[in-house]
């Protein structure tokens, strides 16, 4: 990395630093970099360390209200922050057509009888069937499929506002959207446009192979849930040999006469001659096994959670002395917090992945649940506020083994939490010690108030 | 101001400054700590009043044909905190000798 690249990196990172300190921060790092480049060869490594420094300054210069909110000290603040994040992500998901689709289900008529047919051993979503093979398949499977359609990817280029534009389109059999049962605006169109593409190209007609195509219908952005990503579908007469010229392969979409088999895929054979047969793989794009996947994910989540996470919220000998309302409030807080975190995880996952991946969901849920438990453990079991004033106890040895425990206190004087660094005969986890009224003189609130909590 | 209880890393950095290593890179060199640890620790120590920073005079930097550098000095509070840290971590002084000893 050259000197100029390192300077650019430092300048980029300096945007994290609050504006008031940015110039001085950058001057210090640049000065040190100049010195390092003269006498050492670790300039890049040195510059990368500036990120932590910049982040430290940013974190410690937050507005007091923002810092208090992020600390989530009171249970109300915690739930408000989580609800805010969950609400923001859900709103974002609702505005994203691809993510919205995961929740609303496919917009097609009887989606579980649809089938995507491809050549065997070709990854799902890859065009693999030629128009000749499609015609053989359509003719030979009329008893199995009530309707079939061919979809062939293509690209069109045109000039718009003085610049060249190209958009991905599909040449498709005229009956494609009837087969899908997809609602759209427009009658018997030659061209179907995605809503956002229609807005982009508003007022324009297409010209394909020298022929103008003006008759258009519009479908919503998230309506196409089958292989391929297209802005438009040009509906052609599949009996015309010239209709599917260009890219040699496409997909076959078919609708079965009955419900699909409960298998992830199956094969059909089509005779080519007396001795030769053509093989196709049929895969339902919307399998019925969603519930099974959900149950399997839940079981996997539970097993991994039990194996990796300590579920205990800490030892509290005085727990039974707490009023039932206080105990209920504590559990209610845990349940609501868990629910909000799960909403954040589910909505967040749906934004970044196009289909549910059980493994990823399990890992994310585990991490989220671990945070929920650790947050619950660092709170006072009486008032549910975050414990403060951590004090390390014990004396470190001369080999810097650090302390053997930390004690945190409830700022309202409800008690003390002991967190041991290493399990010993006295403590194996964290232990809560409630204060009685004799401690009241140390805290601002009257003892009677605490005793009744 | 009461003495602050420092972590081992912060104590090492304070010891280095007290020993005469006054620039970020010289502290990195003597402690072996990366820049991402040293500089945030310097900010914390300065925020807590244990060290003070000052920019080098422009004339000195011009004479050496480089930009002026920021250097750090230990404060009075820092000295008492360092003494407490040396009692807590007896190997500190051995690990980080004074800058003059190192030069010698």
Residue A185, pLDDT above cutoff 70: no
Residues in chain B: 104
Question: Closest to B40 (Cβ–Cβ): which among A35, A40, A56?
Answer: A56
Residue A273, pLDDT above cutoff 70: yes
Enumerate residues 6+ apart whose C-beta is below 8 A from A212. A205, A206
Are residue A361 and residue A429 in the same domain, yes or no? Answer: no
pLDDT, position A213: 60
Q: Cα–Cα distance between A7 and A31 in angstroms, integer?
A: 11
Min Cα separation B35/chain A (Å):
5
Strands A216-219, A191-194: parallel, antiparallel or unpaired by DSSP?
Answer: parallel
CA dist A327 to A335, A343, A387, Å?
12, 25, 18
Please indicate whether, in this complex, the C-beta atoms of A46 and B47 are within 8 angstroms of each other: no
Q: Which residue has the higher pLDDT, A294 or A267?
A: A267
Q: Indicate the pLDDT class of residue A196, thresholds 50, 70 and 90.
A: confident
pLDDT, position A9: 92
Residue to mutate among A400, A401, A406, with most B CBs inside 10 A, is A400
Q: Cα–Cα distance between A134 and A146 in angstroms, integer?
A: 15
Chain B hits for A53, CB-CB cut-off 8 Å, are 35-36, 39-40, 43
Residue A153, pLDDT above cutoff 80: yes
Per DSSP, the three-state class of B24 is helix
Are residue A130 and residue A261 in the same domain, yes or no? Answer: yes
This model of the complex carries an ipTM of 0.90
Please indicate whether, in this complex, the C-beta atoms of B43 and A52 are within 8 angstroms of each other: no
Please indicate whether, in this complex, the C-beta atoms of B35 and A45 are within 8 angstroms of each other: yes
Q: Does A7 touch chain B (CB under 8 A)?
A: no
CB atoms within 10 A of CB A258: 8
Instruction: Please write down the long-range contacts of B21-28, taking CB distance under 8 Å and 24 or more positions apart.
Output: B21/B96, B21/B99, B22/B71, B22/B72, B22/B73, B23/A32, B23/A35, B23/B69, B23/B70, B23/B71, B23/B72, B24/A28, B24/A32, B24/B70, B24/B72, B25/A32, B25/A35, B25/A36, B25/A40, B25/A46, B26/B99, B27/B72, B28/A46
Question: Which tokens in the block code for residue A126?
Answer: 């890859």
Q: Which residue has the higher pLDDT, A235 or A67?
A: A235
Please indicate whether, in this complex, the C-beta atoms of B43 and A60 are within 8 angstroms of each other: yes
Q: Which residue of B has its CA nearest to A396?
A: B88
- Domains identified in chain A, total number: 4
The stretch A139-168 carries a mean pLDDT of 81
Please indicate whether, in this complex, the C-beta atoms of A49 and B39 are within 8 angstroms of each other: yes
Chain A hits for B23, CB-CB cut-off 8 Å, are 32, 35
The stretch A227-235 carries a mean pLDDT of 86
Q: Which residue of B has its CA nearest to A25?
A: B70
Residue A445, pLDDT above cutoff 60: no
The stretch A249-269 carries a mean pLDDT of 80
Share of chain A above pLDDT 90, in %: 11
pLDDT, position B81: 92
Q: Which residue of B has its CA nearest to A35?
A: B66
Enumerate residues 6+ apart whose C-beta is below 8 A from A5. none
Where a domain ends, among A253, A283, A313?
A283
Q: Which residue has the higher pLDDT, A57 or A365?
A: A57
Q: Which residue has the higher pLDDT, A294 or A333?
A: A333
Please indicate whether, in this complex, the C-beta atoms of B36 and A53 are within 8 angstroms of each other: yes
Determine the structural domain holding residue A97 and report its residue range: 70-105+288-383
Please indicate whether, in this complex, the C-beta atoms of B24 and A32 are within 8 angstroms of each other: yes
Q: Does B79 touch chain A (CB under 8 A)?
A: no
Q: Does B25 touch chain A (CB under 8 A)?
A: yes
Q: Does A50 touch chain B (CB under 8 A)?
A: yes
Chain A hits for B9, CB-CB cut-off 8 Å, are none
Q: Which residue has the higher pLDDT, A96 or A150?
A: A150
Please indicate whether, in this complex, the C-beta atoms of A45 and B34 are within 8 angstroms of each other: yes
pLDDT, position B77: 92
pLDDT, position A415: 86
Chain A hits for B43, CB-CB cut-off 8 Å, are 53, 56-57, 60
Residue A352, pLDDT above cutoff 50: yes
Min Cα separation A388/chain B (Å):
17
The stretch A5-15 carries a mean pLDDT of 92
Please indicate whether, in this complex, the C-beta atoms of A31 and B47 are within 8 angstroms of each other: no
Are the CB atoms for A326 and A382 separated by under 8 Å? Answer: yes
Residue A203, pLDDT above cutoff 90: no
Please indicate whether, in this complex, the C-beta atoms of B47 and A60 are within 8 angstroms of each other: yes
Q: Does B57 touch chain A (CB under 8 A)?
A: no
Q: Indicate the pLDDT class of residue A104, thresholds 50, 70 and 90.
A: low
Please indicate whether, in this complex, the C-beta atoms of A32 and B47 are within 8 angstroms of each other: no
What sign does the CA torsion over A216, A221, A225, A226 have?
Answer: positive
Chain A hits for B35, CB-CB cut-off 8 Å, are 45-50, 53
Are residue A91 and residue A120 in the same domain, yes or no? Answer: no
A62-66, A349-353, A395-399, A447-451: least confident range: A447-451
Q: Return the CATH number of the domain spanning residue range B8-92.
A: 1.10.10.10
Q: Does A14 touch chain B (CB under 8 A)?
A: no
Chain B hits for A400, CB-CB cut-off 8 Å, are 8, 89, 91
Q: Indicate the pLDDT class of residue A210, thresholds 50, 70 and 90.
A: low
Q: Which residue has the higher pLDDT, A334 or A65?
A: A334
Cα dihedral A396/A402/A405/A411 (nearest 10): 100
Tens-place pLDDT, residues B36-60: 999 999 999 999 999 999 998 888 8
Q: Does A390 touch chain B (CB under 8 A)?
A: no
Tens-place pLDDT, residues A14-61: 999 988 889 999 999 998 888 888 777 777 888 988 999 998 898 888
Residue A161, pLDDT above cutoff 70: no
Q: Cα–Cα distance between B28 and B39 in angstroms, integer?
A: 9
């Amino acid at each position: 990395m050259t000197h100029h690249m390192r300077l650019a990196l430092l300048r980029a990172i300096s945007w994290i630093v609050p504006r008031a300190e940015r110039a001085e921060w950058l001057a210090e790092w640049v000065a040190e970099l100049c010195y390092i480049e003269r006498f050492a060869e670790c300039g890049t490594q040195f510059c990368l360390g500036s990120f932590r420094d910049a982040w430290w300054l940013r974190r410690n210069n937050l507005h007091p209200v923002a810092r208090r909110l992020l600390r989530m000290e009171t249970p109300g603040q915690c739930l408000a922050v989580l609800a805010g994040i969950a609400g923001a992500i859900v709103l974002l998901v609702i505005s994203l057509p691809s993510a919205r689709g995961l929740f609303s289900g496919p917009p097609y008529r009887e989606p579980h009888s649809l089938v995507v047919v491809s050549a065997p051993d070709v990854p799902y979503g890859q065009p693999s069937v030629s128009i000749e093979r499609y015609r053989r398949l359509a003719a030979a499977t009329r008893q199995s499929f009530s309707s079939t359609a061919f979809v062939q990817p293509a690209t069109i280029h045109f000039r718009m506002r003085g610049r060249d534009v190209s958009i991905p389109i599909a040449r498709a059999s005229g009956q494609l959207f009837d087969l899908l049962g997809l609602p759209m605006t427009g009658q018997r169109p030659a061209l179907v446009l995605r809503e956002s593409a229609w807005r982009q190209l508003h007022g324009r007609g297409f010209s394909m192979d020298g022929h103008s195509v003006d008759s258009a219908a519009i479908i919503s952005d998230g309506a196409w849930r089958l292989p391929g990503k297209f802005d438009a579908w040009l509906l052609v007469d599949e009996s015309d040999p010239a209709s599917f010229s260009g890219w040699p392969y496409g997909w076959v979409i078919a609708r079965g006469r009955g419900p699909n088999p409960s298998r992830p895929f199956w094969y059909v054979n089509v005779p080519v001659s007396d001795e030769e047969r053509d093989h196709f793989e049929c895969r339902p794009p919307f399998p019925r096994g969603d519930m099974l996947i959900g149950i399997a994910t839940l079981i996997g989540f539970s097993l991994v959670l039990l194996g990796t996470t300590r579920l205990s919220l800490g030892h509290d000998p005085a727990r039974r002395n707490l009023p039932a309302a206080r105990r209920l409030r504590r559990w209610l807080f845990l349940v609501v917090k868990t629910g909000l975190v799960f909403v954040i995880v589910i909505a967040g996952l749906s934004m970044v992945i196009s289909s549910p991946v059980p493994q990823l969901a399990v890992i994310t849920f585990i991490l989220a649940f671990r945070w929920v438990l650790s947050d619950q453990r660092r709170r006072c079991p009486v008032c549910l506020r975050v414990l403060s004033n951590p004090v390390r106890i014990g004396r470190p040895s001369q080999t810097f083994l650090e302390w053997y425990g930390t004690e945190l206190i409830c700022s309202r004087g409800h008690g003390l939490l002991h967190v041991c660094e290493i399990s010993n005969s006295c403590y194996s986890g964290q232990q809560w010690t409630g204060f009685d009224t004799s401690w009241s003189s140390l805290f601002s609130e009257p003892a009677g108030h605490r005793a009744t909590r | 101001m009461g003495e602050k209880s420092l972590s081992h890393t912060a104590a090492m950095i304070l010891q280095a400054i007290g020993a005469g290593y006054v620039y970020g890179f010289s502290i990195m060199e003597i402690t072996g700590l990366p820049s991402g640890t040293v500089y945030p620790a310097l900010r914390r120590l300065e925020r807590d009043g244990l060290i003070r920073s000052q920019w080098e005079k422009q004339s000195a930097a011009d004479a050496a044909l480089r930009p002026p550098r920021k250097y750090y000095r230990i404060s009075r509070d820092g000295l008492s905190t360092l003494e407490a840290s040396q009692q807590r971590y007896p190997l500190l002084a051995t690990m980080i000798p004074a800058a003059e000893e190192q030069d010698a």
